[in-house]
Structures are given as structure tokens and as C-alpha cells.
Amino acid sequence: MSEVTKIYPSDRRALAEVSALLEQEGIRLDRHLDYISAIRDDECHLIATGSMFRNTLRCFAVDHRHQGEGLLNTIVSHLMEQQLLRGNLEVFLYTKPASARFFRDLGFYEIARVEGRLVFMENQPQGFVRCLQRFKKETADFLAARQEPHDEASPVAAIVMNANPFTLGHRYLIEQASHENALVHLFLVSEDASLFPFSVRKQLVQSGIQDLANVCLHESGPYIISNATFPSYFLPDDDTASIGHAELDLTLFGKIAAALGIRRRYVGEEPFSQVTNLYNTVMREKLPGLGIECRVVPRLAVNGHAVSASDVRQCLKDGDWETLQTLVPPATYAWLESDASREIRRRIAAARDVRHH
């Protein structure tokens, strides 16, 4: 009875059973799943389920008539074996607050929670602590390299961006923060889920900010806008899920801000993306309660139109190099013209839609 089987996306009947069991336990079937498992009883009724998306575990449920039989443990053990096969040593999970203690007993550690909605956990006892230590070390090394005294009382700000790719709009936002603060922490989303890979995005950002001496660049890691904390950013979802993900991501950001002394977060107005605009709305509501000022900067406009990375990608798709040159810094334009960008330009030309993030 405790054999775990995989549910395939083509098995609509089994998926309906999984969805029904989750609903029975007050959970909605997540659309962001790439592996679904289940346990059936001797009469082939589905009595337990658990799923994965990349390196996250989610959507657990055990039929209330079979709770206490160790089925959750069996499901989690199976999924962790699958994660090892994927090469993932850092594994995250979402669960309902009422279920968090079960996962603590299975070796997971709570990182953050959104009261009444979800708890975010990981299998590494010091994972988040190590991330904070990395940010602190990078900051100390950056300040030491500047060879300038840093006033601890002076304002410290943060920006989080994907820069897919780096545009004049991104540069404008960073300039505003740089001029108004003694130190700016720039967290570049390191998740490789964009048309421009992280290594390229980082290269273009570094080239575009090298004259701004008070901007410290960090790789965001798994705790800032990643598929673990905020999958809606990379995959379209409904507003309810996006709000929950945004609240979780900002709860974690509050802890990062406290560790680095960040008191302001800068964000550009978002006239294009519904998910990003929703995130900004939650940010404006939540950050002040965490002691962080949220400064919304109007988008840089060129020829009366707000600059966006979506437009840059569309220009590449359309071959409109004249317009593209007005939207990006010289270093970005030079790289896009070079042979190094050939494969990315080919993928953009072949893509049906290049405007999603």
C-alpha cells in the first residue's frame, strides 16, 4: 500500500484524483509542477500525494482517514530521492502553517512564514544564514576596496532587478538610488529562467554601472525572487498565488535588509507586466511595516514611451536596431551586436512571445 508512483501529465483521471484529494485537505493544485507522486490503497484509491517544481516540494496531502500511517514521510522520502537524482542538494518546500511541524520532524527548517497562508522551509539548517553571511562579506569587501570610510548612519538602499537585458531604464533607476544614498545594494536575480542567461545579464550590468562607485552588486541566490520564493515572476499565475509569493519574497527580503542595514528599496513604475505591478503593490503595502521605505521611481521615457527590457527584446526580434540603440547603454548595444549574442538573438527571433519578463 505504501508504494509511491508517478502521476503523468497525460493521466487526466489521476490528476483529477490528486486535485480532489488536495481540495479535500484545503489545498489547491499548483500549476507549477514538474513531478507529481501518489500512493494508493489496496483498492486503488488515491490516499496521499506530493509534488515538485524544480528544487521545491509542494502540494502535499494525506487522506484524513489514513493520517498517522507514515504516508507523508514516504512521499517526502521519495521526492527527496528524485531531487538527488536531479542533483539538487538545496531543497525548499511550501506548506500550510498547520503542517509545518510535520516537516520539521522530517528534517526541514523554517525560513519564513506568511501568517495564515504558508510556511517556507528548506532542508539545510544554515542555508539562509550562509546567504546572509555571503551578502555581508561581499559588502565588507566592496567597502574595503573603495578605501573610503562608510558612515553607518548614512542611508543604505537596495534594488532588485532581473535586467533581461540591462537597459537605460535600469541604469536610470540605479542612478537615482546612487545619488540619494551612501550605499546601494544591487541584487541581480540569479535564477536562469530568462532569455538572457545570468552570466550575460551580470556582465552587462557590471559594464553599465562601473562608474557608480557606491553600488555593490550581489547575485541574489535562492532567497530573492527565485523559483523557490516567487515562481509567479517567471511563470504566469493567478493574482492570489502571486500575492502569496510576493508576501513570502518580501518577508525574506525584510530579513536580508535587517542584516545589511537597508532602509530604502527602489523600484521602477511598472506599466507593462501584471505580475511585477502586483509585486510592486504588495511591496508598497508591506515594506513600511518592515521599517523599509519603498521609493517608486517613474520610468525613464524615450520618445514619450517608457523604456523596458520587453521592448529591447521585441526590437531584437523585429531587427529594429535603430530603436534598440535608443533603449540600451553603449556596452549593452555593443554586446548585442557582437558574435557572442548570436545564439540569444536566434532564440529571441524564434520565440513566439518575448515580452514576458
Model confidence pLDDT, tens digit, residues 205-227 = 999 999 999 999 999 999 998 87
d(CA 184, CA 295): 13
Residue 191's Cβ-count burial label (10 Å; 0-12, 13-18, 19+) is: buried
Distances (CA, A) of 154 to 157, 176, 194, 293: 10, 16, 35, 14
What's CA 59's distance to the chain center, in Å? Answer: 19
pTM as predicted: 0.91
d(CA 339, CA 357): 24
Residue 62 has phi, psi (to 5 degrees) of -125, 130
pLDDT tens profile 156-180? 999 999 999 999 999 999 999 999 9
Helix (H) or strand (E) holding 250: helix 239-260
| Domains annotated on the chain, with CATH | 4-89 (3.40.630.30), 128-350 (3.40.50.620)
Between CA 248 and CA 201, with CA 243 as vertex, the angle to 5 degrees is 70
158-313-322-304 Cα dihedral, nearest 10 degrees: -60
Answer whether 112's CB lies under 8 Å from 127's CB: no
Residue 356 has pLDDT above 50, yes or no: yes
